[in-house]
C-alpha cells in the first residue's frame, strides 16, 4: 500500500464538476468517478473534509433571479450546495463510505 505525505486534506469540488457532459444537474457517472477517487484517498488512511459548490444547479437559476432580493438568492445558492452535498453523501454511502453533511442552514 502506498503511503501519503498528508494525514488530512480539504477537497473543494465545484458544482460544475458534477455536471460531467450534461448542461446542468448531476451526472451519475461523473459523481461515481469522483467518489471512486475519494475512496482511493480514504483507503490510504487520509482524513478528508469536502466542500462542494452549487453552481451546477444555481447558475442557471441565477439568470432568472435578476432583481431578486439578495438574501433570497443567497439562500437559493446555499440550498443548491446542500442538494449537491446530499447527492455526494448518497453516492459515497453506496460505495461504503461513511459521510455526514454539515451546513449552516437548519435542515431537519
- What mean pLDDT do residues 31-59 have? 93
* Between residues 19 and 59, the one the model is more confident about: 19
**Partners of 47 in the beta sheet?**
8
User: Where in the chain are the domains?
Assistant: 9-94
* Between residues 46 and 60, the one the model is more confident about: 46
The per-residue pLDDT of the chain, averaged, comes to 89
Per-residue confidence band for 82, with pLDDT thresholds at 50, 70 and 90 = very high
pTM (predicted TM-score)? 0.87
Does the pLDDT at position 67 exceed 80?
no
d(CA 6, CA 47): 9
| Residue whose cell numbers read 471512486 | 36
Does the pLDDT at position 3 exceed 90?
no
pLDDT of 68: 78
pLDDT of 84: 96
User: Backbone dihedral region of 11: left (phi > 0), alpha (psi from -120 to 50 degrees) or beta?
Assistant: beta
- What mean pLDDT do residues 8-35 have? 95
Q: How far is CA 79 from CA 37, 52, 103, in A?
A: 25, 12, 9
pLDDT tens for each residue of 88-107: 999 999 999 999 999 988 87
Give the single-character DSSP code of 61.
H
Could you tell me the fold of the domain covering 9-94? Answer: Carbamate kinase (3.40.1160)
Amino acid at each position: 500500500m502506498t503511503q501519503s505525505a498528508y494525514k488530512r486534506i480539504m477537497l473543494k469540488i465545484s458544482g460544475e464538476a458534477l455536471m460531467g457532459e450534461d448542461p446542468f444537474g448531476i451526472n451519475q457517472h461523473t459523481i461515481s468517478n469522483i467518489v471512486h477517487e475519494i475512496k482511493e484517498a480514504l483507503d490510504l488512511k487520509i482524513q478528508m473534509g469536502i466542500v462542494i459548490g452549487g453552481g451546477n444547479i444555481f447558475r442557471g437559476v441565477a439568470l432568472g433571479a435578476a432583481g431578486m432580493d439578495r438574501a433570497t438568492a443567497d439562500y437559493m445558492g446555499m440550498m443548491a450546495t446542500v442538494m449537491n452535498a446530499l447527492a455526494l453523501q448518497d453516492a459515497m454511502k453506496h460505495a461504503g463510505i461513511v459521510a455526514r453533511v454539515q451546513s449552516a442552514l437548519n435542515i431537519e
